[in-house]
Chain A
Amino acid sequence: MLMSLLQLRGPGVSATGVFMASLILLAGCASGPEPAPQEMARSSHQTAPADLQLLCASAAANSAGVEGARVLPVSSQQLDAGNYQVELDAAGSRMSCIIDGEGNVTSIQPS
């Protein structure tokens, strides 16, 4: 792969740069620690765990002063190793929630 990248590089691109990029590519391909057997399935969409999405929904209901049954998480994503962002529909209004992996809501606001 390194040779291919060296062959493909254009003028002005240093060999060091290509070498560094190759190292990053290889790091991206390597797998992390083996997950527990019950965690050996996932979706390519890295959504927030369901319980965290619902904790955000509960916080949004309190913040917006609407009934919990009218708040639904509509999308979510992992921000970094320990935090998730959850977008919610709260009785027709969009809200954004940030929650950590322990279930602590760190931010809830209209989006």
Chain B
Amino acid sequence: MTGKKAMEKRSAASPVARNAHLHRRIFAAVLLVAFGLGTTPTHAETQIFDPQTRKWVKYDRQTATRYFARNKQPPEAFRRQVVKFRTAEEPGTIIIDGNQHFLYLVQPNHQAIRYGIGVGREGFGWAGIVRVGRTAEWPTWTPPAEMVERDPNARQWAAGMPGGPDNPLGARALYLYEGDQDTIYRIHGTPEPWTIGLDVSSGCIRMNNDDVIDLHSRIAVGAKVIVLMQGAALYKGV
């Protein structure tokens, strides 16, 4: 039916039919709103369940900072734990679910160790299949040239910031490679543990220092890394 014909048909409809039509539209709109189907968010947000109000609430940088100050650790879902994980991937494979902020290390018998992570902010998310090319303990951080240019604090580390508790790469770094090429992305620790569960980085995967030390102790150089990220801005290795 053409738009004009449809308009003519609507205009010719009786008041009762128009009322019924309006009623159905309002009812459908209420249904969409009630079930959150009315709009598709362009960017996902992290939510945590508040047992006191029994509601899912937004978990952003501000909330996360307050939560960490109060509890000295991130919400339980983002803490290290063994979970069921049905996969044909070999033990030792790292699977990153960027949307849900989890990193899985595949274990035998359909299990995985799950860690909470922070990932790339909007426009910096990526997906792909890469591998651990090398690792480092208390790595040196060298700020990119553009950061040195705009940030006076970064300028003093233009030649490299030695490893330590204030270093942005934290306690360990796993350098991700595509073939023999460094992707410039890393899985690393952080001096800002309250950012676990958030979209905050420039594409690197950040973990609590304790967690990245644990992960580093369990993996081998060459380990396969699968990065899942709906709405990724970039794909690597596929």
Q: Do A and B actually bind? A: yes
Please report A residues at the B interface, Cβ cutoff 8 Å: 9-14, 17, 20-21, 24-25, 27-29, 31, 34-35, 37-45, 47, 49-55, 58, 69-76, 89, 103
A22 nearest CB neighbor, chain B only: B30
Question: Could you tell me if B26 and A25 are in contact, using CB atoms closer than 8 angstroms?
Answer: no
Report A42 CB to chain B, min CB distance, Å.
5
Number of interface residues of B (CB under 8 A): 59
Q: Does B202 contact A (CB under 8 A)?
A: no
Which residues of chain A have C-beta atoms less than 8 A from B35's C-beta?
28
Q: A31-B49, A50-B85 are in contact. List 16 more A-B contacts (CB 8 A).
A: A24-B30, A28-B35, A31-B56, A34-B51, A38-B77, A41-B100, A42-B46, A43-B45, A44-B47, A47-B99, A49-B97, A50-B100, A51-B84, A51-B112, A55-B86, A74-B230
Which residues of chain B have C-beta atoms less than 8 A from A35's C-beta?
49
Which residues of chain B have C-beta atoms less than 8 A from A27's C-beta?
34
Q: If the complex has contacts A13-B22, A40-B75, A40-B77, are A25 and B34 also in contact, measured as CB distance less than 8 A?
A: yes
Question: Could you tell me if A43 and B44 are in contact, using CB atoms closer than 8 angstroms?
Answer: yes
Question: What is the bound-complex CA distance between A73 and B231, given in angstroms?
Answer: 11
Question: What is the bound-complex CA distance between A45 and B235, given in angstroms?
Answer: 20
Report B213 CB to chain A, min CB distance, Å.
21
Q: If the complex has contacts A25-B30, A37-B76, are A12 and B45 also in contact, measured as CB distance less than 8 A?
A: no
B95 partner, pick from A17, A54, A89, beta carbons under 8 A: A54
Question: Could you tell me if B127 and A72 are in contact, using CB atoms closer than 8 angstroms?
Answer: yes
Question: Which has the most chain A C-beta neighbours within 10 Å: B47, B78, B238?
Answer: B238
Closest 6 CB pairs of A and B: A12-B19, A28-B34, A41-B77, A45-B44, A21-B30, A40-B49
13 A-B pairs (CB sep. < 8 Å): A13-B19, A13-B26, A21-B26, A21-B31, A34-B49, A38-B77, A43-B45, A43-B46, A44-B44, A44-B46, A50-B85, A50-B100, A51-B104
Question: Which has the most chain A C-beta neighbours within 10 Å: B22, B30, B56?
Answer: B30
Question: Could you tell me if A25 and B33 are in contact, using CB atoms closer than 8 angstroms?
Answer: yes
Q: Does B3 contact A (CB under 8 A)?
A: no
Question: Could you tell me if A51 and B47 are in contact, using CB atoms closer than 8 angstroms?
Answer: no
Main secondary structure of the interface of B (DSSP, over half): mixed
Question: Could you tell me if A38 and B76 are in contact, using CB atoms closer than 8 angstroms?
Answer: yes
A12 partner, pick from B15, B56, B238, beta carbons under 8 A: B15
B237 nearest CB neighbor, chain A only: A69
A75 nearest CB neighbor, chain B only: B230
Question: What is the bound-complex CA distance between A3 and B11, given in angstroms?
Answer: 31
Q: Does B81 contact A (CB under 8 A)?
A: yes
Bitwise, B157-177 to A at CB < 8 A (1) or not (0) is: 000000000000000000000
A77 nearest CB neighbor, chain B only: B230
Report B183 CB to chain A, min CB distance, Å.
15
Which residues of chain B have C-beta atoms less than 8 A from A76's C-beta?
230
Question: What is the bound-complex CA distance between A43 and B49, given in angstroms?
Answer: 11
Question: What is the bound-complex CA distance between A72 and B83, given in angstroms?
Answer: 22
Bitwise, B27-46 to A at CB < 8 A (1) or not (0) is: 10011011110000100111
Which residues of chain B have C-beta atoms less than 8 A from A74's C-beta?
127, 230, 232
Question: What is the bound-complex CA distance between A43 and B46, given in angstroms?
Answer: 5
